[in-house]
Amino acid sequence: MSTRLNGQCMCGAVTVKAEPKRKSLSACHCDMCRRWSSGIFMAIDTVEGTVQVEGPVRVFQSSEWAERAFCERCGSNLWYRITAEGPGHGQYQLASGLFDVNGMHLGLEVFIDGKPDAYAFEGERKQMTGQEVFDIYAPKEEGDAQ
Amino acid sequence: MGERTGQCLCGAVTFRANVDGEIGACHCTQCQRWTGGGPLITVRVRDLKISGEDRISTHHASTWGERAVCRTCGSTLFWRMQGKPIAYIAVGLLDDQTGLNVTEEIFVDYRPTWMPPFEGASQSTEAQEMAKLATYLAEHET
């Protein structure tokens, strides 16, 4: 997919350009995304080296392996990015709300075992548990990734 | 539902409040951009006691609303009418969401085409919500 995305945060102070890796989005229900985004963090996986950001960004190291960024002015969630060495290192998972992505579809829900019973999307799609996600991203020799 | 506790991602802002069981989800364009894709999912709170207020950053994206985040971690905290008490708080902040249910989705005409509705939630459009807002603002005009 070569469509380039042009987006901005709620107040417009931060602008983001990127090339999405695929034509689908993912929804994360993990505890950290839940607290951060009011519920579900909707992400767009991006092609490495294609993300351009301008504006007042504040970065928060939310775990030993990843950071989360937001607009310093309006507080819009901007991205989740793995900072640890290994699979996915440096890759931006951009907040879908920054862009008009109506041509895409919701293809995946991750940390489905962390989703509260309070809500559920209608329909069916691929779902992964937290352990299935950790099995992909966390080197097995490090033991308990959590 | 009784008293519940909650905190932002980094723990700088904590609170306790009585919550009722009903959760609302807002799909307006501002909430989408603000929360990373939306919707903004909030629960009604009463007797809110909040700490870490010096870590709260607020922003006015309209002439009536105020949005607040934690200035350390960027967690979405609440939306409220400017100058009014905090009536709704981001549900994701709660330590325990047992027994809660999304009952209402608003600004559904702005919901992205790729996002499915929540199971069992009522659906309200921008026109319906703006009519409610106009009534509220007329009643509270000073």
CATH of the domain at A124: 2.170.150.70
Window 41-80 of B, Cβ < 8 Å to A: 41-42, 57, 59, 61, 67-69, 71-76
For residue A18, is it within any domain?
yes
Q: In degrees rounded to 5, what are phi and psi of residue A95?
A: -65, 125
Q: What are phi and psi of A107, to 5 degrees?
A: -105, -15
For residue A22, is it within any domain? yes
Structural domains counted in chain A: 1
Q: Please choose, from the candidates B2, B15, B20, the residue with its C-alpha nearest in 3D space to the C-alpha of residue B101.
A: B20
Q: Are A44 and A57 in contact (CB under 8 A)?
A: no
How many alpha carbons fall within 13 Å on the CB side of residue B115?
Answer: 25
Per-residue pLDDT, averaged over B75-87, amounts to: 95
Q: How high is the pLDDT of residue A139? A: 60
Domain containing residue A9: 5-138
Partner-chain contact A43 B42, CB within 8 Å? no
Residue A101 falls within a domain, yes or no? yes
| Residue, of B125 and A143, whose pLDDT is higher | B125
The values of phi and psi at residue A131, to 5°, are -65, -40
Please name each of the domains of chain B with its CATH number: 3-139 (2.170.150.70)
Chains A and B form CB pairs within 8 A to the count of 160
- B130 neighbors B110 (Cβ within 8 angstroms): no
Structure tokens at B112: 């992205």
Q: Which of B67, B75, B97 sits opposite A36 (nearest CB)?
A: B75
pLDDT confidence bin for A141, thresholds 50/70/90: low
Chain A CB contacts of B30 under 8 Å are 10
A80 within a domain of the structure (yes/no): yes
Please tell me if residue B23 touches chain A, with a CB cutoff of 8 Å.
yes
Residue A75 · residue A93 · CB < 8 Å? no
- Whole-angstrom Cα distance, residue B73 to residue A130? 22
- Reported ipTM: the value is 0.91
Residue numbers in A near B32 (CB within 8 A): 97
Q: Are A74 and A10 in contact (CB under 8 A)?
A: yes
Distance from CA of B128 to the nearest CA of A (A): 23
State what percent of residues in chain B have pLDDT above 90: 88
Question: Residue holding tokens 């290192």?
Answer: A89
Can you tell me the distance from the alpha carbon of B115 to that of A100, in angstroms, rounded to the nearest whole number? 12
The distance in angstroms from the start CA to the end CA of chain B is: 34
Nearest to B33 among A10, A35, A58 (CB): A10
Quick: pLDDT tens for A39-90: 999 999 999 999 999 999 999 999 999 999 999 999 999 999 999 998 889 9
pTM: 0.91
* Residue B20's pLDDT band (cuts 50, 70, 90): confident
Q: Is residue A144 part of a domain?
A: no
